[in-house]
Amino acid sequence: MTRQPCQHQKETDGIVLVTGGSRGIGAATATLLAGQGHKVVIVDILPEPLEEAAIMLWPEAFDVSNEAAVTSGIAAIEAAHGPISGLVNAAGIFGKMHPVEKVRMENWDREINIDLRGTFLVARNVGERMARRKHGAIVNVASVAGMTSGPIHAYTAAKAGVIQITQTLAAEWGRAGVRVNAVSPGFTRTAALEAGIASGALSRERLVRNAAMNRLVEPVEVAQAIAWLLSPASSGITGVNLPVDAGFIAGSTWDAYGGLREAPSN
């Protein structure tokens, strides 16, 4: 006999908390969710309000890598705004490209602490509360960098770890009615990426040439995948990592065979 989800415990009840919500993919996700009618609270290490008036900004700096700050912050947010039924872990930093021998361990530690430790700390703190309430959905923002390789050594390791803890937490809380999934964006047209292109550190042509769709990913496209994974429409899905990469992974090995084929001319 198939068990149907309880209608009074919809994952759209309560608030959705978005870390790293003042910019980039976090901001795009918060804006989309608010437009869908969700009650959204954003936190950030540098908190700035978004244009969408319905989005509630937590005014205090939120350091995802600080265990005490996360614990007290989550408690304060729930006391002020109600239970968190959806969590988007979008806080993260992108490290510099270096040969491995030039990686400074203080930079390694900072990236691991924010991207991996921070994701785990927030997910654990919120997920335990969801498990006691017997419902909730978490989406962690990983990266295709965690599924491939590149000269961003701490970042690739951290994002691979995010994918792994997503599976582990999905198994941990599945019987308590909490779903945990991840999205892995490809090269996404955020302000930070555009700044890297403008500075010459990144090449737009190189970023898109191995993507099957021959373009960058738009932040709203990642946000749409996150919104779906938070919603009851994905109620049977937990422990997955969904690439949103314009076909980067699919096309990345074609360069060895002469490159991706161009679209046929009319």
Which positions are catalytic?
155
Task: Please tell me the predicted confidence (pLDDT) of residue 110.
Answer: 96
Amino acid letter at 221? E
Task: Please tell me the predicted confidence (pLDDT) of residue 265.
Answer: 84
Residues of the chain with pLDDT under 50: 1-11
3-class SS shares of the chain: helix, strand, coil, % to 5: 50, 15, 40
Geometric angle at alpha carbon 91, from 187 and 70, rounded to 5°: 165
Report the interhelical angle of 219-230 vs 24-35 (nearest 10°): 60
* Annotation: CATH topology of 10-239: Rossmann fold (3.40.50)
Distance of alpha carbon 201 from alpha carbon 24, whole angstroms? 19
Tokens of 215: 């373009």
Task: Please tell me the predicted confidence (pLDDT) of residue 11.
Answer: 47
Q: Which strands make up the sheet holding 178-185, listed edge to edge?
A: 56-57, 39-43, 15-19, 84-89, 136-141, 178-185, 241-244
Number of Cβ within a 10 Å radius of residue 86: 28
Task: Please tell me the predicted confidence (pLDDT) of residue 3.
Answer: 43
DSSP 174-220: GGGTEEEEEEEE-SB--HHHHHHHHHTSS-HHHHHHTSTTSSPBPHH
Task: Please tell me the predicted confidence (pLDDT) of residue 96.
Answer: 78
Domain locations along the chain: 10-239
Task: Please tell me the predicted confidence (pLDDT) of residue 10.
Answer: 45
Q: Write down the pTM of the prediction.
A: 0.93
**Radius of gyration of the chain from its Cα atoms, rounded to whole angstroms:** 19
Report the interhelical angle of 153-173 vs 118-133 (nearest 10°): 10
Locus of tokens 């008036």: 53
Task: Please tell me the predicted confidence (pLDDT) of residue 53.
Answer: 87
